Amino acid sequence: MTSKRYAQIVGWGKYVPTQVLTNDDLAKMVDTSDDWIRARTGIVERRIADPRETTSTMSIKAARAALQVADVAPERLDLIIVTTATPDYLFPATACLVQDALGARRAGAFDLLAGCSGFVYGLGVGSQLIISGAYENVLVIGAETLSRIMDWTDRNTCVLFGDGAGALLLQASDAPGGVLSFTLGADGSGGDLLMLPGGGSRHPASAETVAQKLHYARMNGREVFRFATRIMGQAAKEAIQAAELKIDDVDLFIPHQANIRIIQSAAKHLGLPMDKVFVNLDRYGNTSCASIPIAFCEAIEEERIKPGDHLVLVSFGAGLTWASAVVQWHVPLPAPRLPGWKRLLRRVRYCWARLVSRLRRTYRKFSSWWGKAVGRIRGNNNG
Ligand code: COA
């Protein structure tokens, strides 16, 4: 008889840009104030990527940190899922850029788009691929460069969002725990409430779409707020029930960090005291898919998680979508720090991966040039 498999979280990592944009900075750009933003959202400041940073570069940093914590080599990854609404390109997938930079030779890679719920969607998909027996190691990344799709003259949106990345590494285990349950949901009738209209097949990028500002995120904040306060508690309850747990069994609630009033309303719906709720949106704003994995990493850093704990993750976002999951923590904390030589070896590996990638590109160019040259010579001889 084969033993039951579980998908444990064995690695975690985050990256946030160094540049901080405060509410006071924003008040110099649009008609808003620190008081308004704090009172209506709970946000104090957010991080903004520098011009060289993109969703893939931040993903790579978070991914490397997660692999280092778990002491897992990139070659052991079976799958990389990057959840994002702001990929580097429409294609290739950002996950493929991450796969190349890590040197994860055996890994499949794809992007997953489910609005801000993307990360929990990714966790659901990744955990099931492990529990089914298909894969051993799946890296789920949430990363966003939302500052690139903000209209910095629109106070309805630009005060809310920030940039960053987080990654969790899922691994097959026969020890009970890990991702115990998840629920995914969608209501496409609310798709117009939060969207990026331009750049897709409906409104391909053109001078006109740019003039109409269709390349910026648009939102009906009031309606999204109403939806979020209704769905967050409900979705969390469903995942708790699916894991056959009770509210009292929840040790830490890690919600999508969009608005403190939405978080408080979800906690109230569940009957959870705020000391069981993890909040860091004051420092980062809403980082969409990156919000839950960054919060997860910080909960570990702040020693809010210990083995045996039941954690509830819940998110909502564009689509409209929602998702929730229950995780039972298993890994002893704090994670042991890798010895210096192992960290050095990792750095060498990543340099090697970069070199191999360059060689492959050069080889492709050369073989294409060679093929054409041979074709020309043959053509000349025949002629
Ligand atoms: N600064 C100052 N005033 C602002 C403002 C800003 N940044 N943004 C809006 N206002 C004004 C509005 O124009 C409105 O003025 P009016 O009464 O004269 O028309 C007033 O503040 C109230 O607007 P309202 O939209 O009712 O505010 P709110 O309390 O609903 O808060 C949000 C607005 C956007 C913070 C809130 O609706 C929200 O968080 N929605 C969810 C958004 C979200 O989470 N999106 C991401 C999903 S993943």
CA of 226 to the centre of ligand 1 (A): 12
Q: Please give the backbone phi and psi of residue 160, each rounded to the nearest 5 degrees, phi first.
A: -95, -30
Write out the CATH class of domain 6-328: alpha beta
Mean pLDDT estimate for the chain: 96
- Ligand 1 lined by 156 (C-beta under 6 Å): yes
Q: Which of 273, 4, 13, 375 is nearest to 164 (CA)?
A: 13
236: CA distance to ligand 1 center in Å? 25
Strands 79-83 and 45-47, by their bridges, are unpaired
Q: Which of 104, 117, 165, 125 is nearest to 296 (CA)?
A: 165
92-106, 200-214, 298-312, 369-383 — which is least confidently predicted?
Answer: 369-383
Distance 119 CA to ligand 1 centre (A): 25
For residue 258, give the ligand 1 atom closest to its CA. Answer: 44
pLDDT value of position 381: 81
* 8 A C-beta contact, residue 30 and residue 159: yes
Does the pLDDT at position 382 exceed 80?
no
Residue nearest to atom 1 of ligand 1 (CA): 32
- What pLDDT shows up at residue 383? 66
The verdict on the CB of residue 255 being under 6 Å from ligand 1 is no
Q: What is the pLDDT of residue 252?
A: 98
Give the pLDDT score at 3. Answer: 82
Nearest CA owner, ligand 1 atom 8: 156
Is 95's pLDDT higher than 70?
yes
The 10s digit of each residue's pLDDT in 129-188 is: 999 999 999 999 999 999 999 999 999 999 999 999 999 999 999 999 999 999 999 999
Instruction: For residue 230, report the distance from its CA to the centre of ligand 1, in Å.
Output: 17
What's the pLDDT score for residue 75?
96
Question: What is the spatial distance between Cα 56 and Cα 105, in angstroms, rounded to a whole number?
Answer: 17
In this structure, what DSSP letter does residue 189 have?
A: G
Give the residue-averaged pLDDT of 294-302.
97
pLDDT at 380: 83
* Candidate of 28, 41, 225 to mutate for ligand 1, largest count of ligand atoms within 8 Å of Cβ: 225
Quote the pLDDT of residue 214.
97
pLDDT classification of 2: cutoffs 50, 70, 90 = low
- CA gap 325, 313 in Å, rounded: 5
Q: How confident is the model at residue 1 (pLDDT cuts 50, 70, 90)?
A: low
145 contact partners, CB below 8 Å, separation of at least 6: 49, 53, 54, 55, 58, 86, 163
